Every structure is written in structure tokens, then in C-alpha cells.
Amino acid sequence: MKPGDSLAFAGGALSGNRLRTALILLAMAIGVASVVVLSSLGDAARRYVIGEFSALGAHLVIVLPGRSETTGANPSMFLGETSRDLTIADAMALERLPGVRRIAPINVGATPVSRKGHSRDILLLGSTPDFLGIRGFHMEKGRFLPDTSADQATAVCVIGKKVKRELFGSEPALGEWLRIADRRFRVTGILASEGTSLGQDTDELVIVPVAAAQSIFNTQSLFRILVDVRTQEQVPKVITRVEEAIRQRHQGDLDVTVMTQDAVVGAFNNILNTLTLAVTGIAGISLIVAGVLVMNVMLVAVSQRTAEIGLLKAIGATGAQILRLFLLESALLAILGAALGLAIGYAGNQAIGHWFPKLTMAAPWWSEFGAIVVAVLTGLLFGILPARKAARLDPITSLQRR
Amino acid sequence: MIELAGIRRAYHVGNQDVYALSDVDLTIERGDYVSIMGPSGSGKSTLLNIIGLLDRPDQGAYRLDEQDVTTLTDDQQAGVRQRTMGFVFQFFHLIPRLSAADNIALPLVLAGVPADERRTRVDAVLADMGLSDRAEHRPEELSGGQRQRVAIARAVIMRPSILLADEPTGNLDRHTGEEVVTLLEGLHASGLTLLVVTHDPALGHRAGRQLRMEDGRIISDTQSQPAP
């Protein structure tokens, strides 16, 4: 039997029962599409987060209170728990280290801000003038924080555009006063929109001098210190110097974690890659389910087409030929289903990319490849049993049925 | 060309052996027209299936064209079936999703005959059967007589030497049955060995040689001059 004829025969058998074929194609397609979409989604999230971090600037060293035994992200990074406070004095000491271009101590917290009866909760960030340059933010209007010593709690603030709109409306805000927690601050500048960065929307941010933030939050401790190193080559040396300086200042204890941008990015990369794989694996299970459905459909096909199989044997088909024909049928189901699934997956990616433009949806090469391979393998694997059943049918008993 | 010696075929029903064929000896010459008659359960279909290599005897020897075919593997037997046997069934056994032409071409497809050669051969057979205008019709669009003619066309498309018909008129009215028999006899006249299983005496008596079976044995074997 020629390959083209086998294909035509198997294809004809599939189109002979359109509804069942369509349903099984759908099941296979959903499996493949979910693998493609979910892995793309995971990968897009990973690239998005990595991109966010990379926007911070390359030669950044981050100092966190609390010591973690391993490198990478650790709970203290998020919770800010510590054994000994990381203070503004520590930050000022780091600024004097060789190789350090500038630093930005940071305190962050949610707090209410109000003006003339309008009140809302915002994210308050305390830092120093260099923060603007380190984060790459820009001013829309006015000036950023005054260039005074970091431990001076000047009552000035810089506000995001949305905060300005909600508290001042169309009135001018520069030079006006507003109330943050229980203190009054004068607005000296308005931040330009930078979009959302690391979960902070610059439009919804209020920035005050770090010492002012500390007194609002009633703490001596910093959330973290960003250290901008002059060149990439100096980064390892600066890390050592930072650790040494903190150890001296903290009575010989190294109770901070010093990490580089790369370590943070690497940690997130690992986490998100693992997450992508896990989600893809779950989607992959639906492919196995689709495989079982293929088997079910083929078993039904074999018993419905018993007479046909008997006839094929009577007119000279060997068991191997019949096995091949039925395997080809399930393989066709799997391949067509996988192709349909890829198309649906791409369409899904396009749709998600359209609605969430920040996510660049592109399926990682391994997910498309893997989805097709798994689809075809399950189709073939689960096709073996029905095909063997067909090949072993006894022609006489098969032909006795009408 | 067909030589059966001491053929025995038993089926297990419960824990009893039921003999469908016991010690059947039979020789059929090339070009014979043989009818096999007998009540149901007499073993006539089993005999036909064994001659057609669809079934294997438990005991005995079957020589086809001087060759022992009982010892062949399943695949070798499939090859012999393909080259030398044509089957016609009571229920036609046409594949419903295929057109008449495609049903007829099926043995050629299985044998790997190229498509253009298939087309010429199928067209020729369709013309012989008077079915040229029905080539693209599906079985469900054909009458019973037409279906059986398509099935006969399929049986002879490989140019077999033996044509095995199991109740070929059993599902047809008398008139169309008559047409089908005339067709089969025409094929016999052109040189095919024709074996017909039937319990219709009118059909059985038209054969040159008539076998009667009962309880798995051949009880009578009569030669008659075919009607002129």
C-alpha cells in the first residue's frame, strides 16, 4: 500500500465521522494551546520582571538589613526584618567609600496624604537627591529633593502626577502644602510618568527626604540602601568594602545582605523559570488526557468498523497493514489537533499581548516543540492499543456482522 | 486446483467441541462451478472460509495449486487471498464512506497499484458490470442489486482465479438475484472457478457440481450437465 493511499484512506475514515473527529481535535488543540499560552505567559512575566530590574542601572549594589546565608532573594528582602538597624549614618558612611559614585538610602511605606479634606493612601518613599539619578526618574515640573544632608528632615515633597491630579485637580501644586500622616510638607516638584517600575507607579508616588520618612514611620531603620558603583569592574571590590564598613560600624557583626543587581535578576529568573515550567507541566497533563480521548475514539472506531476490517483482511490486507492504517489515523488526529492547538495558542498570545501590551507574548521554543512532540507521541502511544485490536480481529467473526 | 484432505474444524461451545467440519475430502478442478448447499449449521460457510483462507482447519491438509497453504503464515495467506481469491458476501460489505469506484479500487490500493493504472482497471470493470454511471455514487445511493454488482467488481478487480460467494442472492429479491447469478455465471464462463454457498435450491442446481452438506460432512456430490 502506497503512503499516499494510506494517508487518503485514514483521512477518509476521519472525515467519515466529522463530529467525533472535530471533538477529539478540539481536545488535542486545547491541550497544545494551553501549553503554548501558559508557557508564553510565564516566559513573558519572567522577561517583564527581568526588564524591570535591568532598568535600574547596571552597576548597582543593594544593601539590605539582615543576613541571609545564601545569595539571591530572601525573605528579609521583602519583610525588612533585621537584627540590627541599618541607619542613615550607615548610608552616609558608605557614600565615602572609594569606588562609590552615589548612594540612595530608601524607606518605603503606605501612608495617608490629604489636602483640604481630600485624603487618600499613597506609597511614601523616603530617599535622597541621588535617588532620582539612580532610578532614572525625571521631573515633570519643579525640583527634586533639596541637596541637604541625608539626616535632615526637610518638610518638602515630590509628588506623582496622579497624586497631584487627585489632590489638586487643575490648581497649581508647586509651592503648595499638603499633609502626609500628621505633618505638613511643601510640594517642590512633580514626577514625570515613568510607568510602573518594580511595582511602584511613579504617578502614585510621594517622595520625601529619608529622615522625614523615618520620623513619619517612627523608625531608625532603612528599608535598603542603593549603592551606585562607578564601573562594573569595581563592583566586587565595593561589595567587600561595603561589608567591611558595615562590620566595623556594627560591632563586628555582618548583619546586612549585600547583593548585586545580577544576583537579584538571577534569583527572579530562576523563580520565574521554575514557575513557567510548573505551569506548562500542568497544561501538559491535558495533553495526556487528550491522548486517552484519542484512544477512546479509536477503540469505538475499531468496534464500529469491525466489518470493514474483516473485509480489508478478506481482500488481502495483512495485520501489519491494518495496524499501520489505524495508527496513522490516531497520528493524524494528534498532528491535526496539535496544529490547530498551535494556531489557537498563537491567537491567544496575540490577544493577551493586545490587552496587556507590557507582556511580550512569545512561546519559548521548547514549549511549541514539546507540545507537538508530546501530542504526537500520546496520539501514537494511545493509538497502539486500538490499532492492535483492529489488526488482530478475526476476519470471519468480523464479517458475520452486518 | 483445490485439494482438501481430512479437513476438520471444531468450535468450543461451553466445554463441548462442536464439529463444523469433520474429515472433509474434496477436490475442485480449475474452472469448476460448484454449489454448496445444506441447512444452516451444516458447515458450508466454514468450508468456504477455509477454502478462502479466512479460517484455518484444526486438522488436515489443504493444497492450493499444488502448494500446501495450511502451513503459511497469516501474512503469506493474506498474499494468497489477494492474488487468487475473490469474495462476494450476502451483505455486500461495501465501505459506506467510499464511492463505488473507490470500493472497487480498494484491493488495488492495498496491493500498492499506482493510481492511474487503478483508474483504467476500475473503469473497465465498471463498464463490464454496467455501472459506469454509478462510479461516484456511495453504497447508500445504490440499489441492492447495484451494491452486489459493485461487490462483485471488487472481487474480480485483482483478476483472481477463484470466486467465493456466500449467499450472494440472500439479501436480494428474486429478479435482482437472477441478474447477479447471471453475472457470476458469466465470470465463470470466462474461466473463473466459482464456488457458491446457498440454501436456495434453485440457485444451487444451476451449478455444474453440487455438494450437499450436513453436520460437517459432505453427504452428496453430484455432477450435472449445466443447462444449455
Domain assignment present for residue B13? The answer is no
Task: Tell whether A110 and A35 lie within a shared domain.
Answer: no
For chain B, which residues score pLDDT lower than 50?
228
Q: Cell numbers for A39, please give them.
A: 508557557
A315 and chain B in contact, CB less than 8 A: yes
Domain assignment present for residue A248? The answer is no
Percent of chain A with pLDDT over 90: 18
A52-56, A247-251, B52-56, B84-88: least confident range: A52-56
Task: Tell whether A23 and A141 lie within a shared domain.
Answer: no
Residue A360: band (very low, low, confident or very high) from pLDDT cuts 50, 70, 90: confident
CB atoms within 10 A of CB A177: 13
Q: Angle at Cα B11 formed by Cα B213 and Cα A393, nearest 5°?
A: 110
pLDDT for the residue B85: 92
- Over residues A244-259, the mean pLDDT reads 85
Domain assignment present for residue B219? The answer is yes
Which residues, at least 6 apart from B220, have a Cβ–Cβ distance to it below 8 Å? B210, B211, B212
Q: Which of A197, A222, A247 is the last residue of a domain?
A: A222
Q: Name the E strands within A80-169.
A: 100-115, 118-127, 139-142, 156-159
Report chain A residues whose CB lies below 8 A from the CB of B81.
314-316
A15-24, A76-85, A268-277, B53-62: least confident range: A76-85
CATH code: domain of residue B215: 3.40.50.300
Provide the ipTM: 0.89
Q: Do B98 and A2 touch (CB under 8 A)?
A: no
Strand partners, B181: none
Q: Left (φ > 0), alpha (ψ -120 to 50) or beta: where does A256 sit? A: beta
pLDDT for the residue A58: 56
Residue of A nearest to B48 (CA): A396
- Phi and psi for B24 in degrees, rounded to 5? -90, 125
Domain assignment present for residue B18? The answer is no
pLDDT in tens, A74-84: 554 555 544 67
Question: Is it the case that residue A11 has pLDDT exceeding 50?
Answer: yes
- Over residues A265-282, the mean pLDDT reads 85
DSSP H helices, A305-364, are 306-314, 319-355
Q: Which of A222, A241, A256 is the last residue of a domain?
A: A222
Residue B85 is part of which domain span?
30-44+75-223
In the A/B pair of chains, how many CB contacts fall below 8 A?
70
Q: Do A313 and B55 touch (CB under 8 A)?
A: no
Task: Tell whether A117 and A45 lie within a shared domain.
Answer: no
Kindly provide the b/e burial profile for residues A137-151, where b requires at least 16 CB atoms within 10 angstroms of the residue's own CB. beeebbebbeeeebb
Residue A394 is part of which domain span?
3-52+267-400
Report the C-alpha gap between B116 and A89 in whole angstroms: 93
Task: Tell whether A19 and A107 lie within a shared domain.
Answer: no
Total domains in chain B come to: 1
Domain assignment present for residue B196? The answer is yes
Which residues, at least 6 apart from B36, have a Cβ–Cβ distance to it below 8 Å? B44, B47, B48, B195, B196, B197, B198, B204, B211, B213
Question: Is it the case that residue A231 has pLDDT exceeding 90?
Answer: no
pLDDT in tens, A195-214: 666 666 788 889 999 999 99
Candidates A308, A315, A397, A401, partner chain B, best to mutate (most B CBs within 10 A): A315
pLDDT for the residue B201: 87
Q: Cell numbers for B219, please give them.
A: 453427504
Domain assignment present for residue B199? The answer is yes
Domain assignment present for residue B129? The answer is yes
- Shortest alpha-carbon distance between residue A318 and chain B (Å): 5
Residue type, A127: S
Domain assignment present for residue A312? The answer is yes
Total domains in chain A come to: 2
Q: Do B91 and A402 touch (CB under 8 A)?
A: yes
Domain assignment present for residue B38? The answer is yes
Domain assignment present for residue B51? The answer is no
Domain assignment present for residue A368? The answer is yes
Domain assignment present for residue A66? The answer is no
Task: Tell whether A114 and A198 lie within a shared domain.
Answer: yes
Q: Left (φ > 0), alpha (ψ -120 to 50) or beta: where does A138 sit? A: beta
Report chain B residues whose CB lies below 8 A from the CB of A396.
49, 54-55
